[in-house]
Amino acid sequence: MENRTLFKDVPAEDLIVPVRVQGRLARALDSDIFYSWRTSPVTVVATLVALALILMALFAPLIAPYDPFNPASLNLMDGFTPPASTGAFTDNYFLMGADNQGRDVLSTIMYGSRVSLFVGILATLFAMTLGVSLGLIAGYNGGTIDAVIMRITDVQLSFPAILIALLIFGIARGLIPPSQQESMAVWVLILAIGLSNWAQFARTVRGATMVERQKDYVSAARIMGVHPILILLRHVLPNVLGPVLVIGTISLALAIIEEATLSFLGVGVPPTQPSLGTLIRIGQQFLFSGEWWILFFPAVTLIALALSVNLLGDWLRDALNPKLR
Amino acid sequence: MTKTLLDVRDLSRRFDVSQPWLNRKIEGTGKRFVNAVTEVSFSVNQGETFALVGESGSGKSTIAKLIVGLLKPSHGDIVFDGISLKDGLKGAKARALRRRFQMIFQDPLASLNPRWRVVDIVAEPLRVFERGMSNRDQRLRVGELLTLVGLAPEDGVKFPHQFSGGQRQRIAIARALAANPDFIVCDEPTSALDVSVQAQILNLMKDLQKEFGLTYVFISHNLQVVRHMANDIGVLYLGRLAEFAEAGALFDAPKHPYTRMLLDAVPDIEMTGRRRKQVEGEIPSPIDPPSGCAFHPRCPFANDRCKRDVPLVINGVACHAVEEGRIG
């Protein structure tokens, strides 16, 4: 029997707070956010495109017509097969044509967006975790810690992100032994892109944290002696997460483009594991000789991916901003 | 004999409002400080209500924050039930003491986390102080508390924005009571509420005080509210205690010229037809306080001594004119 002090004559069933009236899914479908998603056709289309691309990348090994990285299934003589035609020496059908090595462009795109999305998502998550943690610490503590962290972000934001990524990439190249460079390349790329994008998260979160920590519910928790880390995680973080999600989506699009840029410049993923950027780099060599499809289809995929994620970010920004409603 | 629960001795708090270091060096200015609270002493008896009144900027809220430990005093001491809080508390002793005091804030919307359900908000002290409590027991306790403050247990699943201002303050009171404290600091708990709701909340607080033997430090700028609630009253002016008296005595026979001025300005049903005296002047800036008695620029009884010397609290009044018998 529990230790009751109040209303001892009232049965417990009449006093207990019910667990939950509405299920999570029902509540989500009933929410303002879902309504604003449902009523924005652009956003619905963007979601569908992004989902389709993500699913395509996720299940590339299952749905791709060919394995573009298996030398046994490739025939160099199929190189430069135009779209929607059969290879000259094999019976392979190339919907989006074949590149200079006879690889099916559709399959390379599927595998390539896999690399692009993997790098983009992990780099963004890394940047988000780093930026949000530092922003929370800076905003909550203030003083010297805040000043130091914010000066670092100032320096970081005064450089173009791509330069920082190149710098980190170069340093990593020097540190990692050549034998492991190829296998580590993707992780170095994630690190480089992540480290070049965390500053915006830190700045936004720091500002929002400084507003939240002044609020009385934080004071109430402090009076109770709740540990500062718990205050940050339970009280402050949920209240600053809105802007973080918005920046997160937009920075996912940026990270994908940044990865493509680095790969285009030839410092990204190794050629054995081409991303969309690598494919575009390969394609642009043949653009002026008329083999447009090698460049065109990967570029369109990259644009579709970045655009749909960006549109989602825009929608999220508007949906979470009560002033625009 | 009543027992003293809280004893505040010579409490002072100074804030650094200097420019950043670089600006100071370039402009050649020194550090600047604000004395928000200066040498304030009072004591609060168990089961009673002590009210602190004063205009904006008089240091009321700073004292509240000092008492609950949100700020550290620059000087002086706060003794709670015989334990000095000056050096900060650590470990189990701190937890045992912290669960005994709570605070109710001015703006109930800001004092409740907007992303939490009411049941989680009210149960927060339980999670801190009753670590072993099962989820079911927590929900039962929260349901009891919500019923106690005039809400329904079903309200626990809602979010703070689904309530009115008065209801939110009831939720804040329920949270304050969750861990069975015996001392609650109320920082203008009704000033953000409609007048009709104010009375309900004040009566609720009085009922709870009677039922649980609570001790309140009640901070307000509203003299009518204070009259309704307090046993003892301290009047603050620019961070210093101007007058400290039993509530009835203060309202019947105010001694300090500032208290008189405040009381003369209170509208009263018996003085219909008479013109109310207005409060003259404004509270000076604490960055650059007047010399001597801080009240002398507004005081009709001020003389040269008032401009020169800071008055000490003698018999509950800090005024040279009262001390010299010039007014009385």
Question: pLDDT value at position A271?
Answer: 74
CA distance B104 to B173: 7
Cβ pair A17:B146 closer than 8 A:
yes
Question: pLDDT value at position A272?
Answer: 77
Would you call B264 helix, strand, or coil by DSSP?
Answer: helix
Contacts of A232 in chain B (CB under 8 A): none
- Could you give the residue ranges of the DSSP H alpha helices within B4-59? 21-27
Mean pLDDT of B318-323: 86
Which of the four pLDDT bands, split at 50, 70 and 90, describes residue B94? confident
- How is residue B306 written in tokens? 């008032």
Q: What are phi and psi of A89, to 5 degrees?
A: -115, -15
- Could you give the residue ranges of the DSSP H alpha helices within B99-152? 118-129, 135-148
Cβ pair A217:B112 closer than 8 A:
yes
Q: What is the pLDDT of residues A76-110, one digit of tens each?
A: 777 777 787 777 777 778 888 888 787 888 888 99
Nearest of A266, A288, A286, A287 to residue A277 by alpha carbon:
A266
Report the Cα B45 to chain-centroid distance in Å: 15
| ipTM of this predicted structure | 0.86
Cβ pair A220:B153 closer than 8 A:
no
The answer to whether B78 touches B6, Cβ cutoff 8 Å, is yes
Report the Cα B136 to chain-centroid distance in Å: 35
For residue A21, give the nearest of B65, B145, B157 by CB distance: B157
Would you call B189 helix, strand, or coil by DSSP?
Answer: coil
Contacts of B112 in chain A (CB under 8 A): 217
Considering Cα of B128, then B131, then B135, then B137, what sign does the dihedral take? negative
A242, closest residue in chain B (CA to CA)? B115
- How is residue A193 written in tokens? 């892109």
Chain A residues whose C-beta is within 8 A of a chain B C-beta are 2-7, 10, 12, 14-21, 215-217, 219-226, 235, 238-239
Question: pLDDT value at position A93?
Answer: 81
The answer to whether B302 touches B276, Cβ cutoff 8 Å, is no
Q: CA dist A124 to A197, A231, A260, Å?
A: 8, 25, 14
CA distance B267 to B249: 19
Question: pLDDT value at position B275?
Answer: 64
Q: CA dist A322 to A153, A319, B32, B79, B85, Å?
A: 28, 7, 40, 46, 43
Q: What are phi and psi of A284, to 5 degrees?
A: -70, -20
Contacts of A30 in chain B (CB under 8 A): none
Q: In this structure, how many other beta carbons lie within 10 angstroms of the beta carbon of residue A146? A: 19
Question: pLDDT value at position A137?
Answer: 94
Q: Report the gap between the CA of B97 and the closest CA in chain A (Å).
A: 10
- How is residue A9 written in tokens? 């004559």
3-state secondary structure string, chain A?
CCCCCCCCCCCHHHHCCCCCCCCHHHHHHHCHHHHHHHCCHHHHHHHHHHHHHHHHHHCHHHHCCCCCCCHHHCCHHHCCCCCCEECCCCCCEECCCECCCCCEHHHHHHHHHHHHHHHHHHHHHHHHHHHHHHHHHHHHHCHHHHHHHHHHHHHHHCCCHHHHHHHHHHHHHHHCCHHHHHHHHHHHHHHHHHHCCHHHHHHHHHHHHHHHHCCHHHHHHHHHCCCHHHHHHHHHHHHHHHHHHHHHHHHHHHHHHHHHHHHHCCCCCCCCCCCHHHHHHHHHCCHHHCCCHHHHHHHHHHHHHHHHHHHHHHHHHHHHCHHHC
Which of the four pLDDT bands, split at 50, 70 and 90, describes residue B208? very high
CA distance A29 to A32: 9
In this predicted structure, the answer to whether residue B18 has a pLDDT above a threshold of 90 is no
Question: pLDDT value at position B306?
Answer: 87
For residue B113, give the nearest of A7, A20, A235 by CB distance: A235
Cβ pair A217:B143 closer than 8 A:
no
Considering Cα of A217, then A221, then A222, then A224, what sign does the dihedral take? positive
CATH entry, A123-325, from 3.40.1050.10, 3.40.605.10, 3.40.50.300, 1.10.3720.10: 1.10.3720.10
Contacts of B144 in chain A (CB under 8 A): 4-7, 15
Contacts of A224 in chain B (CB under 8 A): 98-99, 102, 124-125, 128-129, 179
Mean pLDDT of B239-252: 89
Q: Report the gap between the CA of B276 and the closest CA in chain A (Å).
A: 36
Q: Which is higher by pLDDT, B261 or B52?
A: B52
CA distance B122 to B141: 9
A16, closest residue in chain B (CA to CA)? B140
Ramachandran category for residue B320: left, alpha or beta (phi over 0 → left; psi -120 to 50 → alpha): alpha
Q: Which amino acid is at B82?
A: G
Q: What are phi and psi of B310, to 5 degrees?
A: -80, 125
Cβ pair B154:A222 closer than 8 A:
no
CATH entry, B4-100+182-324, from 1.10.150.170, 2.60.40.10, 3.20.20.10, 3.40.50.300: 3.40.50.300
CA distance A284 to A293: 10
Q: What are phi and psi of B35, to 5 degrees?
A: -90, 95
b/e string for A215-230 if b means 16 or more Cβ within 10 A?
A: bbbbbbbbbbbbebee
- How is residue A208 written in tokens? 């929002």
Q: Which is higher by pLDDT, A23 or B58?
A: B58
Query: Bridge-partner residues for B6, per DSSP?
Result: B44, B80
**% pLDDT > 90, chain B:** 28
In this predicted structure, the answer to whether residue B190 has a pLDDT above a threshold of 80 is yes
In this predicted structure, the answer to whether residue B64 has a pLDDT above a threshold of 70 is yes
CA distance B173 to B146: 9
Q: Report the gap between the CA of B138 and the closest CA in chain A (Å).
A: 9
Q: Report residues of chain A scoring pLDDT below 50.
A: 1-2, 325
CA distance A219 to A217: 5
Degrees to nearest 5, angle at CA B14 with B11 and B20 = 165
Q: Report the gap between the CA of B19 and the closest CA in chain A (Å).
A: 13
Question: pLDDT value at position A2?
Answer: 46
CA distance B238 to B294: 7
In this predicted structure, the answer to whether residue B14 has a pLDDT above a threshold of 50 is yes
Indicate the pairing of strand B33-45 with strand B75-80: unpaired
Considering Cα of A109, then A115, then A116, then A121, what sign does the dihedral take? positive
User: Which of the 8 DSSP states describes residue B156?
Assistant: G
Q: How far apart are the first and last CA of chain B?
A: 30
A13, closest residue in chain B (CA to CA)? B140
The answer to whether B156 touches B118, Cβ cutoff 8 Å, is yes
Residue linked to tokens 């030839």: A266
Q: Which amino acid is at B79?
A: V
B140, closest residue in chain A (CA to CA)? A16
Chain B residues whose C-beta is within 8 A of a chain A C-beta are 65, 68-70, 94-95, 98-99, 101-103, 105-107, 110-115, 119, 121, 124-125, 128-129, 136-137, 139-140, 142-148, 153-154, 156-157, 175, 179-180
